[in-house]
């Protein structure tokens, strides 16, 4: 920890947020604004035979109704995984065919939101509909194993068949997780403003540059003509990581009516058109010898994708690296369903995958009669078994140990159903957590102003994580100024390019660029001083200079120095600038880079009603350097809360015939509210990781949700003796 790094500082934008000064994407006022409302298909599979827009068009205030009959033709897009910026490659309003319920089939533009909404309700559509394919179970004969560009469909190491056959104990079970939706508080929203052939789009996005590239591509216009702005995001969790069709619709609507157009999705529309976490059905087979040492891991299963894109929820990746086991096989299959394209949702792969793997480990612990922590310690991976690389750092053992202490694991009677509190059955469960530490190329610009304040810029995103705060901390720490003397600008493609804010990689990626640009800015300022015969630092080498409180001075003689502002004033400099372009080195990786953690849940189960309440939760994590104890804790806590929701509540329900989402609203799609969440204890194991990246951080956005659902499910088993392998753990399954 330095003066600044690691401190639990308040958010630099906290005041703006609580006073309404923070502008979200639907909150940039425009003169002469028109409103767009999307119309969604009532069928999930079939064809529009007739679409009658005449009544709607003739209503007062209605400016335009766009359908496949009159929409401009659009150019093909690539998804994020294909190197583009789109969430799905299906282009809106290009044909009469429908592939999923709620698919955009028209957009109405009017003077007011009310007029547009009413007009949208009067559009008459005649369909030819077919029974929708929305259940993996019914479509499993069409399941296929797609080759990924980066790896084969089936991955085998050692001889898993022999490993399983030779095992003294086996667990062979199927675990399922349902379709889930992100449900950020802020809905997706786009305001599109054309000025001649220049387009400005205020869009709720985790990837400003991705939206710019995708819009330019599909509209066949130069990227330089498109500016994408996103200053604040009210939560995202992955659904704003790529551009969805409504953004295109807002833009073509604005061009059509020649006015700025605002389009905000309704909560219900957000269930259909901006991605979701795919349903999974996972088979895990574990073999172990008498000592609990794993002899085989199989992790196989199915998830769904849309009729037109390939998205694989990568739930097997965690099983390849988590435990030392010489014999392993993982494979994944896909079925195409009448749903929109699934997308990244907080810890894609690891969240559902760790539910299956860590539940199976718990089952094995009971089978072998070894404590679940001890079982995991016996199978600890000294190196990454998926690639035989050493870990850049790994505090998993400390996480188990500290977690057990803090949580009070020793008070647990290992016998299922043995603990109670009044009428409630009490259970304690644990699970391992892990998420890769990723790094994407990022660029940043910085300049120092005459008063010594510093402006740092990169078009990254503030989705509530605290990015603006930790970036200011990094720049302030490097330049020896206070956090208040740094302004960090983000969310605008006029600023230097930043990657998608996903994969828990923003702090590592943008932070590396920010630290680098702050260093080169400092070097430039020091060079001015060194070459200045009037400076107290004239001729002094950088290594002998320290900076603190906006003042540069000689380390061994702190009185000999001057402030940044004095130096800049003497040279009459309006600003000093620096730029950093983050190139990725293409060397073979020397280390495997992952964050690790241990999750502990205590539950109370009502034997009469089957209701499960999480009464305590403790998570301990090794995540590299923690830049801000307060915002880091919030990230982890929110991941755990989302994991408790995944364990007990979240489930998107489809009508099996019509393919419509039955619970596309927050009344019926349940996730935790404050009353559902106990005190959550979060601890960080201090970690100095010189290998992971230049700033030593591993990313904290996603690891909190990993292992959480399994810890809760394992606690439910411990409380009740009932193993629930199908999320969410609702009362009907417990009773
Ligand atoms: Mo995250 S699912 O990479 O936004």
For the stretch 211-249, pLDDT in tens is 999 999 999 999 999 999 999 999 999 999 999 999 999
Q: According to the 3-state scheme, what is the secondary structure of 79-142?
A: EHHHCCCECCCCCCCCCCEECCCCCEEEEEEECCHHHHHHHHHCCEEEEEECCCCCCCHHHHHH
Matching fold, domains 34-130+185-235+240-273 and 280-438+589-734? yes
- Dihedral, 266, 270, 271, 272 alpha carbons, nearest 10: 100
What's the start-to-end Cα distance of the chain, in Å? 49
Say which DSSP state 589 is in. P
Q: Tell me what the mean pLDDT of segment 374-381 comes to.
A: 98
Give the residue carrying structure tokens 């269930």: 271
Instruction: Please give the distance, rounded to the nearest whole angstrom, from the Cα atom of residue 440 to the centre of ligand 1.
Output: 13
Q: Is the confidence at residue 546, as pLDDT, over 80?
A: yes
Angle between the 708-720 and 350-368 helix axes, to the nearest 10 degrees?
30
| Cβ contacts of 267 within 8 Å, gap of 6 or more | 183, 187, 664, 665, 666
Q: Is 436 in the pocket of ligand 1 (CB under 6 A)?
A: no
Query: What are the tokens at 186?
Result: 């802020």
pLDDT for res 486: 98
Report the run of H or E that residue 298 belongs to, with start and end: strand 294-305
Q: Is 702 a catalytic residue?
A: yes
Centre of ligand 1 from the C-alpha of residue 243, in Å? 13
Counts for the chain of helices (H) and strands (E), in that order: 17, 29
DSSP state of 75: -
Work out the mean pLDDT of the chain and round it to a whole number: 97
Within 8 A by CB and 6+ apart from 227, the residues are: 198, 199, 200, 201, 212, 492, 493, 494
Distance from C-alpha of 688 to C-alpha of 375, rounded to nearest angstrom: 27
Please tell me whether the overall predicted TM-score, pTM, comes out greater than 0.85 for this model. Answer: yes
C-alpha pair distances (Å), 614 with each of 478, 716, 722: 42, 9, 16
Give the CA distances from residue 235 to residues 136, 273, 708, in Å, rounded to whole numbers and listed in that order. Answer: 29, 17, 20
Q: What is the pLDDT of residue 1?
A: 56
What are the backbone dihedrals phi and psi of residue 285, each rounded to the nearest 5 degrees, phi first?
-120, 125
Does 283 score more than 90 pLDDT?
yes
Confidence of residue 153 (pLDDT cuts 50, 70, 90): confident
d(CA 614, CA 669): 19
Q: Hey, whose CA ends up nearest to atom 4 of ligand 1?
A: 238
Tokens encoding 180 = 């889930």
CA 392 vs CA 247, 319, 389, 511, 697: distances in Å: 40, 19, 9, 19, 11
Q: Is 187 in the pocket of ligand 1 (CB under 6 A)?
A: no
Confidence at residue 582, expressed as pLDDT on a 0 to 100 scale: 85
Report how far residue 272's alpha carbon sits from residue 274's, in angstroms, rounded to the nearest whole number: 6
pLDDT at 220: 98
* 728 prior amide bond cis, ω within 30: yes
pLDDT higher than 70, residue 357: yes
170 in Cβ contact with 287 (< 8 Å)? yes
The share of the chain scoring above pLDDT 70, in percent, equals 99
pLDDT bin (cut points 50, 70, 90) of residue 584 is: confident
Task: Identify the CATH assignment for 14-21+440-581 out of 1.10.730.10, 3.40.720.10, 3.40.50.80, 3.30.365.10.
Answer: 3.30.365.10
**Region 79-103: what's the mean pLDDT?**
97
Render the burial of 102-130: b for 16+ CB within 10 Å, e for the rest: bbbbbbbbbbebebbebbbebbebebebe
* pLDDT beyond 70 at 38: yes
d(CA 430, CA 602): 9
Given strand 486-489, what is the order of strands in its sheet? 486-489, 454-457, 443-448, 576-581
- Does the CB atom of residue 348 touch ligand 1 within 6 A? yes
pLDDT in tens, 475-487: 999 999 999 999 9
pLDDT value of residue 464: 94
- Of 626, 637, 632, 714, the closest CA to residue 680 belongs to 637
Instruction: Check pLDDT > 70 for residue 150.
Output: no
Strand residues in 587-630 grouped as ranges (E): 594-605, 612-622
pLDDT tens-digit series, residues 680-720 = 999 999 999 999 999 999 999 999 999 999 999 999 999 99
Q: How far is the CA of 666 from the centre of ligand 1 (A)?
A: 21
Dist. CA 446–CA 496, nearest whole Å: 10
**CATH architecture for the domain at 280-438+589-734:** 2-Layer Sandwich (3.30)
Residues 610-669: tens digit of each pLDDT = 999 999 999 999 999 999 999 999 999 999 999 999 999 999 999 999 999 999 999 999
Q: Which residues make Cβ contacts (< 8 Å) with residue 257, sequence separation at least 6?
A: 34, 63, 64, 109
Q: Given ligand 1 and candidates 230, 239, 344, which is best to mutate, with the most ligand atoms within 8 Å of its CB? A: 344
User: Is-contact 707 639, C-beta < 8 A?
Assistant: no
β-bridge partners, 369:
none
- CATH architecture of residue range(s) 34-130+185-235+240-273: 2-Layer Sandwich (3.30)
Give the number of C-alpha atoms closer than 13 A to the C-alpha of residue 494, restricted to the C-beta side.
9
How would residue 149 be classed by pLDDT, with cut points 50, 70 and 90? low
Task: Tell me how crowded residue 260 is: count the other CB atoms within 10 A of its CB.
Answer: 21
Dihedral sign computed on CA atoms, order 466, 468, 471, 475? negative
Mutate to test the pocket of ligand 1, among 242, 502, 700 (most ligand atoms within 8 A of CB): 502
345 lines ligand 1 (CB under 6 A): yes
Token couple for 294: 């794993």
- The predicted model gives 374-396 an average pLDDT of 98
Contact, 84 vs 78, CB < 8 A?
yes
Atom of ligand 1 nearest to the CA of 345: 2
Give the distance (Å) from ligand 1 centre to CA of residue 241. Answer: 7
Q: What was the pLDDT predicted at 593?
A: 98
Name 699's Cβ contacts closer than 8 Å, sequence gap at least 6.
435, 437, 438, 503, 504, 505, 506, 507, 508, 595, 623
Q: Residues 693-703, buried b or exposed e (16+ Cβ, 10 A)?
A: bebbbbbbbbb
C-alpha of residue 574 to centroid of ligand 1, in Å: 40
- The alpha carbon of 424 and the centre of ligand 1 are apart by a number of angstroms equal to 37
Q: Where are the domains of the chain?
A: 14-21+440-581, 34-130+185-235+240-273, 280-438+589-734
SS3 220: coil
Tokens of 388: 């035989």
Whether the CB of 239 sits within 6 Å of ligand 1:
no
Q: Can you tell me the distance from the alpha carbon of 63 to that of 65, in angstroms, rounded to the nearest whole number?
A: 7
Which atom of ligand 1 sits closest to the CA of residue 240?
4
Average of per-residue pLDDT across 505-522: 98
Read off φ and ψ for residue 710, nearest 5 degrees. -65, -40
pLDDT at 105 over 60: yes
CA distances from 403 to 329, 359, 512, 685 (A): 31, 18, 31, 10
A 10 A CB-CB count for 653 gives 15
Report the b/e string of 361-394 with b at 16+ CB within 10 A.
bbbbbbbbebbbbebbebbebeebbbeebebbbb
| Pocket of ligand 1 contains residue 502 by CB under 6 Å | yes
Using H for helix, E for strand and C for coil, what is the string for 520-541? HHHHHHHHHHHCCCCCCCCCCC
């Amino acid at each position: 920890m330095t003066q600044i790094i690691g401190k639990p500082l308040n958010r630099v934008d906290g005041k703006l947020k609580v006073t309404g000064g923070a502008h979200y994407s639907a909150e940039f006022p425009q003169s002469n604004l028109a409103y767009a409302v999307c119309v969604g298909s009532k069928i999930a599979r079939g064809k529009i035979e007739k679409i009658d827009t005449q009544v709607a068009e003739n209503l007062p205030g209605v400016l335009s109704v766009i359908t496949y009959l009159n929409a401009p033709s659009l150019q093909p897009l690539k998804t994020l995984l294909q190197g583009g910026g789109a969430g799905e490659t299906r282009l809106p309003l290009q044909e009469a065919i429908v592939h999923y319920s709620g698919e955009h089939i028209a957009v109405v533009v009017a003077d007011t939101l009310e007029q547009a909404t009413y007009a949208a309700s009067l559009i008459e559509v005649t369909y030819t509909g077919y029974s929708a394919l929305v259940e993996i179970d019914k479509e499993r004969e069409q399941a296929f194993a797609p080759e990924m560009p980066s790896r084969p469909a089936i991955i085998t190491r050692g001889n898993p068949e022999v490993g399983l056959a030779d095992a003294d104990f086996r667990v062979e079970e199927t675990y399922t997780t349902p379709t889930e939706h992100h449900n950020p508080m802020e809905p997706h929203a786009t305001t599109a403003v054309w000025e001649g052939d220049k387009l400005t789009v205020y869009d709720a996005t985790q990837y400003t540059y991705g939206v710019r590239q995708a819009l330019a591509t599909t509209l066949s216009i130069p990227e330089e003509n498109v500016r994408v702005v996103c200053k604040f995001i009210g939560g995202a969790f992955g659904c704003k990581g790529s551009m969805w069709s409504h953004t295109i619709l807002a833009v073509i609507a604005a061009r059509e009516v020649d006015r700025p157009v605002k389009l905000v999705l309704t909560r219900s529309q957000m269930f259909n058109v901006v991605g979701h976490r795919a349903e999974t059905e996972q088979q895990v087979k574990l073999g172990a010898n008498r000592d609990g040492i794993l002899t085989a891991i199989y992790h196989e299963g199915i998830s769904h994708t849309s009729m037109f894109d390939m998205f694989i929820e990568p739930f097997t990746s965690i099983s390849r690296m988590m435990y030392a086991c010489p014999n392993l096989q993982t494979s994944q299959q896909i079925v195409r369903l009448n749903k929109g394209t699934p997308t990244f949702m907080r810890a894609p792969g690891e969240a559902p995958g760790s539910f299956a793997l860590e539940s199976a480990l718990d089952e094995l612990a009971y089978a072998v009669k070894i404590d679940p922590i001890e079982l995991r310690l016996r199978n600890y991976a000294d190196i990454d078994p998926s690639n035989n690389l050493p870990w850049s750092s790994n505090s998993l053992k400390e996480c188990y140990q500290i977690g057990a202490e803090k949580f009070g694991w020793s008070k647990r009677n290992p016998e299922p159903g043995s603990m109670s509190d009044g009428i409630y059955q009490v259970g304690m469960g644990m699970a391992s957590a892990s998420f890769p530490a990723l790094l994407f190329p990022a660029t940043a610009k910085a300049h120092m102003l005459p008063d010594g304040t510093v402006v740092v810029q990169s078009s990254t995103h503030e989705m509530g994580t605290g990015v603006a705060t930790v970036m200011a901390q990094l720049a302030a720490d490097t330049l020896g100024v206070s956090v208040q003397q740094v302004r960090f600008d983000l969310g605008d493609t006029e600023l230097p390019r930043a990657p998608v804010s996903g994969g828990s990689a923003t702090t590592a990626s943008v932070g590396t660029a920010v630290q680098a640009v702050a260093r080169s800015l400092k070097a430039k300022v020091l060079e001015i001083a060194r070459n200045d015969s009037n400076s107290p630092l004239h001729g002094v080498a950088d290594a002998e200079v320290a900076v603190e409180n906006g003042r540069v001075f000689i380390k061994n003689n702190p009185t000999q120095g001057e402030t940044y502002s004095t130096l800049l004033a003497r040279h009459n400099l309006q600003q000093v600038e620096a730029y950093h372009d983050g190139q990725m080195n293409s060397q073979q990786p020397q280390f495997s880079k992952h964050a690790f953690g241990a999750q502990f849940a205590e539950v109370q189960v009502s034997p009469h009603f089957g209701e499960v309440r999480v009464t305590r939760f403790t998570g301990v994590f090794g995540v590299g350097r923690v830049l801000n104890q307060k915002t880091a804790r919030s990230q982890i806590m929110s991941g755990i809360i989302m994991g408790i929701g995944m364990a007990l509540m979240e489930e998107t329900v489809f009508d099996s015939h019509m393919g419509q989402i039955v619970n596309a609203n927050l009344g019926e799609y349940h996730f935790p509210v404050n009353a559902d969440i106990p005190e959550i204890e979060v601890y960080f194991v201090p970690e100095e990781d010189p290998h992971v990246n230049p700033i030593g951080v591993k990313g904290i956005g996603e690891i909190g949700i990993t292992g959480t659902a399994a810890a809760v499910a394992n606690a439910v088993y411990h409380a009740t003796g009932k193993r629930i392998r199908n999320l969410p753990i609702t009362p009907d399954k417990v009773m």
